[in-house]
Structures are given as C-alpha cells and as structure tokens.
Amino acid sequence: MTHGHQRWIGVDIGGTKVAAAVITSAGEVIESVRAETPAAGRAAVLDTTAALIDKLRAEHAVSGIGVGSPGIVDRASGRVVFASDILPGWNGAEVREELEAHTGLPVTVDNDVRVMAHGENMIGAGHGRTSVLFVSIGTGIGGALSIDGRLRHGAHGTAGELAHLLVPVTGAIGCGCGRKDHLEAVASGPAMAAEYASRAGVPVQPLQRVVALMHSGDPIARAVISDAGELLGRVLAGVATAFDPEVIVIGGGAAQIGADLLSPLVSAFRVEAMPPVADTAILPARLGTDAPLVGAGLLAAATRTEVSR
C-alpha cells in the first residue's frame, strides 16, 4: 500500500501554543494553524486541539493524525503517563482516546521530542542512519534513540530521555522534575537565561535576548552559552559511549543558536569521549521550526503503514 497522495495532520501541543498542520507523506507542509495554549487545563487544551483539527479538515481530506505532546507518553494507549507543570493538569490526559472520539480518525501520540526525532529519521539529518541519538535543546532538554530508523521506547517510554541526567554543576534554577543538578536545569534555554541573570546581576529572559547580547559583544553572555555547550558535549560523550549511535542529531530551538553553542559542544565531546566514540558525527537537525508538525504528520503516516502491512 502506498501513501504518496495521502495527507495527514501533525499536531504540536506546547506550553504556550498549540499548532496543527496538513502534511504530505513526503513531509511537506500544506497549511498550518495555531492557537494559544489555554491556561484552563486539560479539557480546554484538548478542545483547542480539536478545533484546530476541525479547521484543517474543513479544507483538506486527511487519513490520520499524529500528535506530539509534552511529557512521557504511553505509545500503545496514547495517554500521557507523566507530565511536569509546563501544561497544568496534563498528567493523565487521554489524548488519543479523546481526539479519536472527536474526529473518528486514527490518532497516534508520542512525546514531542520523539516526534521531532522521527521526522529527522524519515527526511532529515538521521535519514538512512543505522542508529541515531536525537537531542533537543530548547525550553527543556529531551532525547530519543532510534535503531534502524525506528524510535526505541523502552519499558516505560523514556528511552533516550536526557533531561534528568545528573551533572556536576548546580545551575541558577531547579529542574522541572523538582530535583537538582539535572542537565535540563543547567543547559536548557531557560537555564542559560537564568545563569546569565545570576552572573550578570540583571534578569534577562528569554534566551534569545542572551543570544542578542552575545552578538553585541557581551562576554558574560558568550561564556554562559559556551559553558552550556561544553557541559552538553561532556554529558553526550558519556551517553554516546553507553549507546554508541552512528550519529548524534542536535535539534530544538536553542540549537538554532548555531556554532556559538555547537562548537563548544563538539569540542568538549571530542575530548571527553573514549576513542573511537570521540569521532561520532554530530549533525544539526534539518527540519527547522516546523520539525514538530512535520514529525507528527510523518508519525501518523508511519503508523498507518505499520498497521496495513
């Protein structure tokens, strides 16, 4: 069975916005819509998501829906089994059940970082690779491990998750999980911004403003971003040695800082990792800002393919 002309809807549910797009089986975005994430909790977020889907379906015939959600998602049931406070009340959300009941279409749900990793595997920097460690650096830090083009989920849906690795540094903020000294609390976008505020004595949010300061010659901003990159590189060296991926793909919003973050990351990785792991290719993600939507649409397409064969 071929899906060449079929269309899918990819959905990206985030802490500040919900976005949805019609995607071709080749990962092309046909049309996208978005709305602010309602603060009123789970039901309101699912209502907003359903309304965006309805809007797209009024114009486009689609065969299935893929959803990227924050938190740990049980792929079999499409239920959020753990979520931090990024989305209040999201813990326990029956995303698949609710959206299938509303749309009558098959719905596949996975963690948002896994969805991006899937997109990179299909048409991006991970395409054709035997094993890929995808790392997302953004509002949080996430990761996903793929073998032979397929995401590994592990026994509890956390395989490849990097956010809560213990690091030898205490940052300016606590981790979203409530614990301390975790990678996400030191090297995510908000962590870098908080670290800048702590070192400079001036509150600066979001990370984009720290990046702008760096470009205008602020040495503290440059050091904060470089230090975060170095820490990420050292941590990834250990992870790469444990899982030995063919390539490491770096994505997420903060990764778009470019060489100012990635160069210190790669340098530290090469020093810290055991040979021959130290030579592991480290590539920037290719799908850019549409990655969550494209990945979610391609996830819907891949799920249908699995079911039909």
Name, in order, each residue with C-beta under 8 angstroms of 239's C-beta and a sequence gap of 6 or more.
133, 143, 162, 165
Nearer to Zn ion, 11 or 231 (CB): 231
Instruction: Give how far the C-alpha of residue 267 lies from the chain's centroid of Cα atoms, to the nearest Å.
Output: 23
Q: Minimal distance in Å, beta carbon 87 to Zn ion?
A: 17
Helix axis angle for 259-272 and 219-243, nearest 10°, is 40
Per rule CB under 5 A, count of chain residues that contact Zn ion? 5
Q: Minimal distance in Å, beta carbon 161 to Zn ion?
A: 10
Question: Does 177 participate in binding Zn ion (rule CB under 5 A)?
Answer: yes
* Start-to-end Cα distance in the chain: 8
Question: Does 161 participate in binding Zn ion (rule CB under 5 A)?
Answer: no
Question: Does 183 participate in binding Zn ion (rule CB under 5 A)?
Answer: no
The one among 116, 175, 236, 240 contacting Zn ion by CB under 5 A: 175
Q: Minimal distance in Å, beta carbon 211 to Zn ion?
A: 24
CA–CA distance, 281 with 250 (Å, rounded to integer): 11
Q: In what order do the strands lie in the sheet with 17-24?
A: 29-36, 17-24, 7-13, 65-69, 107-111
Question: Does 57 participate in binding Zn ion (rule CB under 5 A)?
Answer: no
62 Ramachandran zone, left/alpha/beta (phi>0; psi -120 to 50): beta
The one among 65, 182, 225, 248 contacting Zn ion by CB under 5 A: 182
Nearer to Zn ion, 158 or 241 (CB): 158
Instruction: Please give the residues from 227 up to 286 whose contact with Zn ion meets the rule CB under 5 A.
Output: none
Q: Minimal distance in Å, beta carbon 178 to Zn ion?
A: 7
**Contact (Cβ atoms closer than 8 angstroms) between residue 196 and residue 210:** yes
Nearer to Zn ion, 51 or 177 (CB): 177
Of 156, 65, 67, which Cα lies nearest the Cα of 109?
A: 67
Question: Does 180 participate in binding Zn ion (rule CB under 5 A)?
Answer: no
Q: Which position's Cβ is nearest Zn ion? A: 175
The site for Zn ion (CB under 5 A) is made up of 164, 175, 177, 179, 182
